[in-house]
Structure 1
C-alpha cells in the first residue's frame, strides 16, 4: 500500500510540475561549468598558473578535439602554439590550430557561418574592424558566463569591458593577443622625443635630410591609414566611431587636424615621403629599422625586432621609445594614447553544446595570466593581463615600462559592421590628397559623405 502511494505521488508530481523535471534534463552542457568555482574567475585565471573551473569534465564529456582558426602561419605564433599544447595537457582536449592566410580570413569565416557549418569551433577575429560585423550576423555563441565576475575586468586594460560588450548587452568575444603603439625615435638625431604631435611635426621638418626622413607612417595597405589618423584623433580626446549611428567619423574637428597634419608632412613640410601610400605599418617600421627615418609610430612589439642586429642593423644602440604623443601642450597627459587592439576569439553557435563547453574553456584559458605570460615573454607580444609586466622574467623585455604604460592608456573602439570596407574608402580619399587630385579638406568632406552612406540614416 505504501509503495503504491509513493508511485501515485510521483505521478502527481510529474503531471503537476513537469517544468522542474524538464529543466533538469534540458540543462545544456556548457551550463554545467561553474566558472566562479573553486575560486572567483579573477583569481582562478589571474594567478601565475591557470585553474580549471568546476564542472568542466562533465560539460566537455566526449570532446577529444576543437578546431581553432589562426591569423597566418603558426611559425610566427609560438606562444599560441605553446598555449594550445598547455590547454591539451590540462584538459586532454587537443587543439587543432588552423593557419589561415590573413587576406581571405574574414570572408572565409563568414562563409562558415553562412553555411551553418560545424567545421570550426573557435574563430579568430580582429576586434576593431570585424567584431561588430560578426555580432550583427547573429552567428556567435554568447560567452557572458566566462566574464561573470566584476573583478575580472581589473586584470585588463581599462577599455576591455566596454569594447567586448555588444549593443545587446551580451559578450561574444574574448582575448587572444593584444597590441598598441609607441613612438620610436633615434637619439642620435632626435635628442629629446616630442611630447606632442605639434612638436613632432616641427622636429620632423628640422631633421629631414636627403638621406633620412623625419617621420614615416603607413597609408598603403588595408587599415594602414587608420593607424596614424586614429592615434592623432585620440591624442585630442576625440573618437572615430559614432556608436548610435554606427558611423565612422573623419571630419570632426580632431579628424580635420589629423588629416591636415598627415597631408602637410608629405606635401608642405616634405618630412615624410609620398611613398607612404605604398607602406603597410610593417613597411613603415622597416624604414625606421633600416635607418631611413628618424621617428615612427609603430607597434610596441617592434621593440623586439629593433634590438636584433640581424633585423635592424642600421639602428643598433641608437633607438629609444616614448609614449604616444598628445596633440599639443594644452591637452591632458591622459591623451598620450594610441589604439588598443584585440586579436580575439569567438565561438561558432552552430557547433554542438559539448563542443561549445570545450570552446568556452579554451577562451577562458587563453585570456589568463598564464597564457599572457607566454605572449609577452616567449613571443614578444603584449600581455593582455597587465600584471604580467611585473613578473621578474619581464625585465628582459625591451622597452618594458613604456609598453606597460602604453597598454594602460590605450583606446579601444569597435568599428561598424562594414569596418574594413570603410577603411578602404578613407585610404582612397587620402591617396587623392597625396597625389594632388584633391585638396585636403575637399577630399575629407567627400570621404565623410561616402562613409555616411554606410551608416544608420537620419
Structure 2
C-alpha cells in the first residue's frame, strides 16, 4: 500500500465515521485497494462508529494462500483491536519473496510509513536493523516473556544484542525415510550413506536433497556443517569467519561424496519440488525437505508412497554429535519511521499474533510451525496434526543460517563456492578457502 493508497483508505474511513458515505460505498471503495470483503468488514467492525476514529495500521505479509492471515486479522480487529481502538488492514504478499523485498526497500529508503507492520523472511532482520529500517522490540517484549517461545527463531531475529523482529512461524529441514524399507532413521550421515548403498537397489536413488545453486543450497550446507559442529560465521562475533576449518571440510566432503553415488548426478539441479517429485514417486530411500512435503507425500492422488514413510531429525556428523535443522520462517517487525503511538499500536497486533489463541489458529488452519512452544503439546493440535509431536525436539535443536547485515552477499558467496565443489570443478579444500576469502571481502572490507 503506497502513500496515496494509504491516504485513500484514511479518507474512506473518515467518510464512514462522519456519515458522508454509506457502508456499501465504503466496502466498494475498500475493494479498490485490494482488500478482501472479509478484511474490509473486519476493519469496519474495528473502527465502529467512533467519532475519534481508530488507529488504522497496514500489515504487509508474505504470500498466504490459506487466508489464515485474513482470519487472524479479522479476529484481532473484532476483539483486541476494537477494545483498543486499533484497526489492522492485511495486505497479501506477492508470490516472490524478492518482489516483497523490493517493495520494502522502496518504501523504507524513502522513510515511508505506508506500511506499519512488516513480515520479514528469517534471513532479513539483521539487514533491516543495520539499515535502521525497523525498531528494536526489547522495550515491548521482555526476555522473561520470550522464554515461552522457540529460541532458535529468536536468535535469528537478534542483532548486536537487540531483538528486531518477533518470530511468528518457523520452518525446519526434515529427514524423510521409507518406513516400509527400514524401521528407524539413521543417526549419522555415515549411517545414512551405508544404509542407502545397501537398500538403493530397492528404490532408484539413496538420498535426494537440494543441490542447485540457490538459497536452498545454503540451507542444506548449513545443516550438514552444523551437524559436524561447524559454522559459517561465529555466532558471538559475525565478523569472524569459521567455515574453512576441519569441520567445514568434513561437511563439504560428505556432500560432494553423495553426488553420483547415493544421490543422482542431477541432484545439483534439484530444488524442493524436484526432490519431492523423486521421493513421492517411490524412487528414493531418503529425502531432505521441509514439512510441506508431508501432506503431498501422503496424498494417494499425488504420491505412490502414502503412509509408507516417516519423518525424523537430520543426522549428526558423528556418533557423539547432534543433527541440526536450518530454520526458515517469517517474523513480524515494526517500521522504524512510525510515530510512537502507531508503533505501540503495531506492537498490540504483534502481541496478539504471538498469543496462544492466534498461534493455535495458525497451527490448526494452515499447519504453520509456529513459535510458541506449548502449541506442540496442545491436544487439539496433536489430534489434527500428530506430526507436531515430532517437530518439537527437532525445532529445539534447529539453528539459523548465518546472521549478517550483509546476508544477501554472504548467501550468494556460499551458493557459488559450494556449488562449484558439488560440480567437481574444485576440491572441497579449494572451495572453502575461496569462500573464506570472499566472505572476508564482504564482511571485513579494507
Q: Distance in 1 between matches of 2:290 and 2:442?
A: 29
Alignment check: 8 A CA contact 1:175 1:384 kept = yes
Alignment check: 8 A CA contact 2:377 2:389 kept = no
Of 360-369 and 281-290, the range deviating more from structure 2: 281-290
Match of 2:224 among 219, 222, 232: 232
1:343-363 per-position Cα deviation (integer Å, ceiling 9, x unaligned): 101111223333222211111
1:136 lines up with 2:125 in the alignment: no
Q: Distance in 2 between matches of 1:273 and 1:329?
A: 26
Match of 1:157 among 150, 163, 170: 150
1:453 lines up with 2:444 in the alignment: no
Give me the TM-score of the superposition, normalised by structure 2: 0.80
1:110 lines up with 2:101 in the alignment: no
Cross-structure match for 1:3: none
Cross-structure match for 1:318: 308
Alignment check: 8 A CA contact 1:181 1:339 kept = yes
Per-residue deviation at 1:414? 4.8
Q: Distance in 2 between matches of 1:220 and 1:413?
A: 17
Cross-structure match for 2:255: 262
Q: Distance in 2 between matches of 1:407 and 1:220?
A: 25
Alignment check: 8 A CA contact 1:240 1:249 kept = yes
1:402 lines up with 2:396 in the alignment: no
Cα separation, partners in 2 of 1:221 and 1:79, compared to 1, 3 Å: farther
Match of 2:68 among 62, 79, 93: 79
Per-residue deviation at 1:442? 1.5
Aligned-partner SS, 1:145: coil
Per-residue deviation at 1:185? 0.4
Aligned-partner SS, 2:426: coil
Cross-structure match for 1:176: 168
Match of 1:290 among 263, 267, 281: 281
Structure with the larger RCO, 1 or 2 (CA within 8 Å, 6+ apart)? 1
Gaps of 5+ in 1: 1-60
Q: Map 1:63-74 onto structure 2 (within 5 A).
A: 63-72=54-63, 74=64
Per-residue deviation at 1:149? 5.2
Indicate the structure (1 or 2) with the bigger Cα radius of gyration.
1
Per-residue deviation at 1:454? 0.8
RMSD: 2.4
1:327 lines up with 2:317 in the alignment: yes
Per-residue deviation at 1:397? 0.6
Q: Distance in 2 between matches of 1:406 and 1:179?
A: 10
Gaps of 5+ in 2: 1-51
Cross-structure match for 2:351: 364
Per-residue deviation at 1:224? 1.0
Cα separation, partners in 2 of 1:398 and 1:282, compared to 1, 3 Å: farther
1:438 lines up with 2:426 in the alignment: yes
1:9-57 per-position Cα deviation (integer Å, ceiling 9, x unaligned): xxxxxxxxxxxxxxxxxxxxxxxxxxxxxxxxxxxxxxxxxxxxxxxxx
Alignment check: 8 A CA contact 1:246 1:415 kept = no
Of 81-90 and 420-429, the range deviating more from structure 2: 420-429
Give me the TM-score of the superposition, normalised by structure 1: 0.78
Per-residue deviation at 1:338? 1.3
